[in-house]
A and B are shown apart, each in its own frame.
Chain A
Amino acid sequence: MNWKYPLVGAVTFVALHRVLVVTWQTWFHGGGGHSPWFMNTVDSVLLAMAVFFVVNVMVCLLMPQPRVEETSLAACQVVAGAIVPMVVTLATLPEGPGNMAPVAIFIGIIIVVVPSVAGALVGFAVRRAILALRS
C-alpha cells in the first residue's frame, strides 16, 4: 500500500468537485436544479470518468518500473482515496444524501473505478511503448 495513491485519489475528487461547483451553472446548465455533484448530470459523470482516466494514466507513467498488476492495484488505491471525499460530499449536499445514498455511493465507485483501471492499463501500455522506442 502506497499512501501516495489514495492521496492522489482524494485530491482528484476534491478538485473535481470544486470544478463542478464553480462551473455548475455554465458547463452543466445548473444540473436541472440539483446541487453540484458528479452524479447529478450525465455530463458530470463523463467528466469524472475522463478525469480519473487521465489521472491514472499519469500515475502509471510516473510509477517506477511497474508491473501490470501493480498499475491496476495503484488504480484501486486511487479510487479508495476518492471514496472518502465522495461520501463526505454526498452527505453534506444541501438537500442531504437522499434515500438512495448507499446505491449512489456504490454506483459512484463503479463510475470511478472503471476508467481508473482502464487508465492505468493504458498508461502501462503507453509506458511500455515509450520504453520500447527508447531501447
Chain B
Amino acid sequence: MVTTLEFAWRHRSKLVAGALIVTAGAVAHSPWRVSSLRASPPAQTGNAPVRTVPPGTRVADEPGKKGETYYWLESQTTRLTTRFADGAAIVAERGDGGEVRAKIHDQGGNETGSLAVRSTSLQYLPAAGEPLQALNDSGERVTLAWASRQAYGLWKDGSRKPQWQGGLIRPQGATRNVEQEIVELQAEWANGLSAKSTRTARSTYTFTDNRTRKPVKLSGERVSARLVKDGVQIGSAAWFPQNRVFVFDYGQLGSGYIAPEHLAHLGGWTFAPDMEWLNLQTIALHHFKAQMQANGLNAKTGAGCGERRDASISRLLNFFAPTVYADQDGCDGLHWADGTIFRPCCDVHDRCYFKIGCDQHSWWFDGRWLCTFCNASAAYCFVTGGCSCIPGFAELDPVEDRKARGAQVHT
C-alpha cells in the first residue's frame, strides 16, 4: 500500500533528481574555481579599451616581477653602495626632488662620472667623453640598484649607438653581464638599518634539515647578506644560485631554508633572487618585526586570556615568502572570524608555523611534534574562545607585550 506521503516523496524525488542533473551540468560547464588573470604590463595609450575583470576573478601579479611591498621598501633605501669586481664603486642616492643620482668612482676612488635618473629621462655625465641625455623608456621602476647598474654599464661600455637591452641602455652589441660583476651591495635604510650582501664564487655550506633530520649540502656560488643595526649584526641570509636554495637565520624570529621542492606545487621560484632582493629581505624582516612590536603596544581589544594583535606577522610572511607557507592574512578558510575573538588564534598559529618551518601540509604529512603542538594549541585556542595562553604557544603571541601590558596596568 502506497501512502499519499510516499507517493509525494517519490514524485518529488524525481524532481530532485532532475534538478541534480541540471545543477551538475551547470557546474561542469562553469568551473567552481574563479579563474586567475595575469596583470600584463603593456601600457595603453590613445583610445585603447579598458580591460575589465569579471566579478570574482582574482588578478594575480605577473610572475617574475617584484611586488608593491618590495618597491615600497626599496624607496626607503637612502643610499646604495655597489662595488664591482674591477674595484669600481657606485654610490646611488635619492635627491630631494625624487630623482636618483649615482656617482661612479674608479678603483682609486676618483669620481669618473655621474648619472641622474628621473621617471621620464636620464642624464649621464662622464668625466671624459660625450654626455648622454635620453628619455627613460626602460619600462623599469627607477631604483637605486637599477641606476647603479645603468651607470656602471655606461661607464664601462660607453654610450655609442645606444639601445635598450633588458631595461638598460647599452651600446650596440654589448654583452656585459653587469649583475655578475657586482661583488658587494650595501643598502643603508631608514632607522639606522643597513644590509650588506657579498658574492662568493665558490663555497660549501652544510646544515641539517629539521624535518627530515638529514644533512643538506649546498655548494657553488653564494650570495650572503648581513643585517646590521647600530653596529650589531641582527640577521643573515644566503642565496645559492646553483642549488636555488635560500637559507635564512633571523635569530628569535626564525631560521630555515626554502628549496625548489618546497615551491614545486607553485611552479618553483618565479623570479631569480639577486643581491638587491636579498638586502631588502633582511631589512623587511626586521622592519615588520619592529612594526609588530609597536602595534602590540597598542593592542586594541581583549580576546580570551590574550590580547588582540595586529596581523603584521602575516604581512611579513606574505612579503618574505608569499607562497611558501600558503599563508593568508587572517584566518585561512575562516575569514568570517577575522574580526572576532578567534583572530589571535590564527595569528599565533601563523607565527608558530613560521618559526618552526611548518606549512599547510604539516597537519597531515609532518611527523614533527612541534608542528602538532602548533595545531593542538590553535585548536585549544578556538575551543576556549581565543585563549592563546598555553605555555610555549603564548610566547609566540605576536603581541609580545605581556610585560608591556603589565606596565600599562601599573600606569
Chain A residues with a Cβ under 8 A of chain B:
4, 7-8, 11, 14-15, 17-18, 21-22, 24-26, 30-32, 34-37, 39-42, 44-45, 62-65, 89-90, 92-104, 107
Nearest chain B CB to A112's CB is how many angstroms away?
14
Are B335 and A40 in touch, CB under 8 angstroms? yes
Are B335 and A65 in touch, CB under 8 angstroms? no
Are B336 and A100 in touch, CB under 8 angstroms? no
Are A44 and B359 in touch, CB under 8 angstroms? no
Q: Which residues of A contact B19 (CB under 8 A)?
A: 11
Are B34 and A101 in touch, CB under 8 angstroms? no
Q: Which of B8-16, B129-137, B156-164, B386-394 contacts A (4 or more CB under 8 A)?
A: B8-16
Are B334 and A104 in touch, CB under 8 angstroms? yes
Nearest chain A CB to B376's CB is how many angstroms away?
11
| B369 interface residue (CB < 8 Å to A) | no
- From 326 to 384 in chain B, residues with beta carbon under 8 angstroms from any chain A beta carbon are 326-328, 331-336, 338, 346, 349-350, 353, 358-360, 362-363, 375, 378-379, 382
Q: How far is the CA of A102 from the CA of B335 in the complex (A)?
A: 14
> Per a CB cutoff under 8 Å, which of A7, A21, A41, A100 touches B332?
A100
Instruction: Name A8's closest neighbour in chain B (CB-CB).
Output: B16
**Extra pairs beyond A41-B335, A102-B363 (17, CB < 8 Å):** A11-B19, A24-B55, A31-B335, A62-B5, A93-B33, A97-B333, A98-B327, A98-B332, A98-B333, A99-B349, A99-B360, A100-B332, A101-B333, A102-B375, A103-B333, A103-B334, A104-B331
Q: Which residues of B contact A31 (CB under 8 A)?
A: 335
| B166 interface residue (CB < 8 Å to A) | no
Instruction: Name B16's closest neighbour in chain A (CB-CB).
Output: A8
Q: How far is the CA of A96 from the CA of B265 in the complex (A)?
A: 11
Chain B residues with a Cβ under 8 A of chain A:
3, 5-6, 8-9, 12-13, 16, 19-20, 23-24, 26-27, 32-34, 36, 55-56, 58, 325-328, 331-336, 338, 346, 349-350, 353, 358-360, 362-363, 375, 378-379, 382
Nearest chain B CB to A15's CB is how many angstroms away?
6
Instruction: Name B3's closest neighbour in chain A (CB-CB).
Output: A64
Q: Which residues of A contact B332 (CB under 8 A)?
A: 95, 97-101, 104
Give me 13 A-to-B residue pairs in the complex whose CB atoms sit less than 8 angstroms apart, sorted by A's number.
Answer: A21-B34, A25-B56, A30-B56, A36-B56, A37-B333, A39-B334, A64-B6, A95-B328, A97-B333, A98-B332, A98-B333, A103-B379, A104-B334
Nearest chain A CB to B17's CB is how many angstroms away?
9
Q: Which residues of A contact B358 (CB under 8 A)?
A: 99
Q: Which residues of A contact B335 (CB under 8 A)?
A: 31-32, 34, 37, 39-41
Q: How far is the CA of A104 from the CA of B346 in the complex (A)?
A: 11
Q: Which residues of B contact A65 (CB under 8 A)?
A: 3, 5
Q: How far is the CA of A24 from the CA of B33 in the complex (A)?
A: 12
Are A89 and B360 in touch, CB under 8 angstroms? no
Are A39 and B333 in touch, CB under 8 angstroms? yes
Are A40 and B5 in touch, CB under 8 angstroms? no
- Number of residue pairs spanning A and B whose beta carbons lie under 8 angstroms apart: 125
Are B325 and A99 in touch, CB under 8 angstroms? yes
Nearest chain A CB to B365's CB is how many angstroms away?
13
Q: Which residues of B contact A32 (CB under 8 A)?
A: 335, 338
> Per a CB cutoff under 8 Å, which of A18, A96, A102 touches B26?
A18
Instruction: Name B56's closest neighbour in chain A (CB-CB).
Output: A24
> Per a CB cutoff under 8 Å, which of A17, A35, A90, A99 touches B350?
A99
Q: How far is the CA of A4 from the CA of B5 in the complex (A)?
A: 16
Q: Which residues of B contact A26 (CB under 8 A)?
A: 55
Are A100 and B36 in touch, CB under 8 angstroms? no
Instruction: Name A90's closest neighbour in chain B (CB-CB).
Output: B333
Q: How far is the CA of A95 from the CA of B34 in the complex (A)?
A: 11
Instruction: Name B339's closest neighbour in chain A (CB-CB).
Output: A42
Are A42 and B9 in touch, CB under 8 angstroms? no
Are A35 and B55 in touch, CB under 8 angstroms? no
Q: Which residues of A contact B55 (CB under 8 A)?
A: 24-26, 30
Interface centre among B20, B32, B360, by most chain A C-beta atoms within 10 angstroms, is B32
